[in-house]
Amino acid sequence: MFRVHVTAAGSRARTGTLTTAHGTVETPVFMPVGTRGSVRTQTLAQLIELGAPMLLANTYHLMVRPGPELFERVGGLHGWTKWPGAFLTDSGGFQIFSLSSREMSEEGARFRDRASPGPLLLTPERSIAMQRAIGSDVMMVLDQCIDSTSPVTQARAAMELTHRWAVRSLTAHRELPPGPTSQKLFAIVQGACFPELRRESARVLTEIGGFDGYAIGGLAVGETRAQREDTTEMVTELLPLELPRYLMGVGTPLDLIEAVHRGVDMFDCILPTAWAQHGKAFTSHGRLDLRRGVYRNAEQALDATCDCVACTTYARSFLHHLVKAREPLGWQLLANHNLRFYVRLMRRARMEINDGTFAAFHAEQRLALAEGDQDNPPGPTPRIKPRPPSTRGAFTVVTHTDGFASVRHLASSETMHSSNQPDAEAERVYVAQSAVLATARPLVVWDVGLGAAHNAMALIRTLERSPQRGAIELVSFEHDLDAFQLALAHQKEFAHLRHPAAHILAKFGRYEQLPLTWRLVVGDFLSTFAAERAPDLIFWDPFSAKVDTPMWSLATFRALFAHLREHDRSVELFTYTASTALRTSLLLAGFHVARGVASGAKKETTIALRPGSDPLPHALLDAAWLARRERSSAKFAADIPAEQHAELERSLAAHPQWRA
């Protein structure tokens, strides 16, 4: 049984408990990897003292040696290893993927192993039978893992085979006689780095049903960190809230914290012990490489904040000596330290989520965990031009699988244009739909939320194709220019900013090239807009309702509508969202509301209108939308008190748009 306890504000991070036959596992949790039933270099006493409630063992390796017969004789892995906590067993799919001599078919995976005298066949049914013999608390379906950068045709074929194997694994699990303890079975979402495949995989597996949890597989096998984070974020959103989510084989401490932020509950990775073997340690001072000569005479502790044996007993110089001499004790000490670092990180994450402080913790850790050796940073690499920083203020640059870049807000982890090519969306949603822009008369255009300037530059590109039109005054409002400055520094990723207009605007606050005058207004929009001439056209693109909450309130839209009354002609407002709550607020503010074009995954966007003397060719929402709104669970925006809902419902019903 899995139970969610607390979900962090402004994040999908959550705490929960997974109840197993060998104890309760508090999540988010890191599972040390004990591939063959033991965690490398660590004794049973060390593992118990470590406090990790669950270990990972591997079906493939335990099937090859010692084989299912031994486990049936000794009563499973728990009794054999004396481990008192829970075990999760991987199905063997990743290990087969890493072999060179393998043959995949509908039946299963046929392979050779040096420890086996002949070829072996691992089928979904045999994988379940082996995991039943092992007696693991959580079993995995057999899947086909492939390189995350594989072509889409290969990724689809592997994903569909994984789905069919998942059904066979579930059937085998149900048909085998009950074991001595209850065992849970997790399905595995595949699809490489193709969003449409990942969405399909999550949908198919959840529709099959009957699984006790879901894993995200096929990551940390070739993709970039940004691709991994985007895929994880998308998949967790599609998985059931009430079931655990397991990110397989990932990764560094930073990877774990980013995945916790995106709603992942369970992790495993070989890095803590594998990197220890090569003298590397995760510490509160950054990642240290004890092989470096700088530690030959270093007498301070490895990590002053850690209470493991390596940190409380030995100096860095001794650990350096053990690593350079390839003494097994060095590997053991650093592995224990690294495992403790991971377990403590997850314990701290659980505490921060429960205390309601995870957002600040995440923002702090995503910087701290990315650090290298802070005490002895390596010198600069010569002859290499440094890349511009990928982070500025509250924002960072992310690159998507489709090749385009976006700006992400660090604290909320929300991304400008997370799934749509930004320039295409700006052109389609904010410029191409406008009827006012198609006229030749002089216009005032408000660009509310400059961001990375995609919307403003889309307008400029349009004007350059039509130089004979009337004068346009473009006013961009922004309270935080860090996103704009960050994008300007990354022109390789943000090609639209190679135009001189953006750089002139950034330097002087004004750009003029007839018929366009572009001005920048820096500060709080709600305090500055009243001093500006009322617009004919509005690009409404504040970052999001979560990040810029006041900008999406009913009070703001009412103030905006009042400011437009000096016009005797129509005004258009375009925005990217089509939420029921937003459209309700616009209607209550006095606007007429129409359907905007689809954009990427969004079936509709939104157009708000202040009707004037010149009619506009937009399809207004009708009574059918009102009927659909009745079924919505979020009819009003969060800024509207519940006690006002009844009165506002009457106002909405009396809106002149419905009479029209």
**Cross-sheet strand order for the sheet of 86-90:** 29-32, 266-269, 245-247, 213-216, 184-189, 138-140, 86-90, 54-58
CA-closest candidate to residue 55, choices 79, 25, 80: 25
375 is catalytic: no
Compute how many other C-beta atoms are within 10 angstroms of the C-beta atom of residue 297.
Answer: 10
- Between CA 107 and CA 117, with CA 111 as vertex, the angle to 5 degrees is 125
CA–CA separation, 571 and 592 (whole Å): 10
482 is catalytic: no
Instruction: Using alpha carbons, list the distances in angstroms from residue 33 to 66, 96, 191, 393.
Output: 18, 17, 24, 37
Contact by Cβ (8 Å): 14, 263: yes
CA–CA separation, 596 and 113 (whole Å): 59
Contact by Cβ (8 Å): 238, 202: yes
Place of tokens 């399809």: 619
| Helix runs in 209-355, H state only | 225-238, 253-261, 271-277, 309-313, 316-324, 328-355
CA–CA separation, 585 and 637 (whole Å): 7
DSSP assignment of 554-590 equals: HHHHHHHHHHGGG-SS-EEEEES---HHHHHHHHHHT
Candidate list 113, 212, 265, 268, residue with the active-site label: 268
Compute how many other C-beta atoms are within 10 angstroms of the C-beta atom of residue 176.
Answer: 13
| Helix runs in 34-151, H state only | 44-50, 59-64, 68-74, 77-81, 93-97, 124-134
Tokens, residue 298: 């270093």
Burial track 25-48 (b if 16+ CB lie within 10 A, e otherwise): bbbbbbbbbbbebebbbbeeebbe
CA–CA separation, 34 and 42 (whole Å): 10
| Helix runs in 419-532, H state only | 422-425, 454-465, 482-488, 500-508, 525-528
CA-closest candidate to residue 625, choices 593, 649, 601, 600: 593
The residues that are catalytic are 90, 268
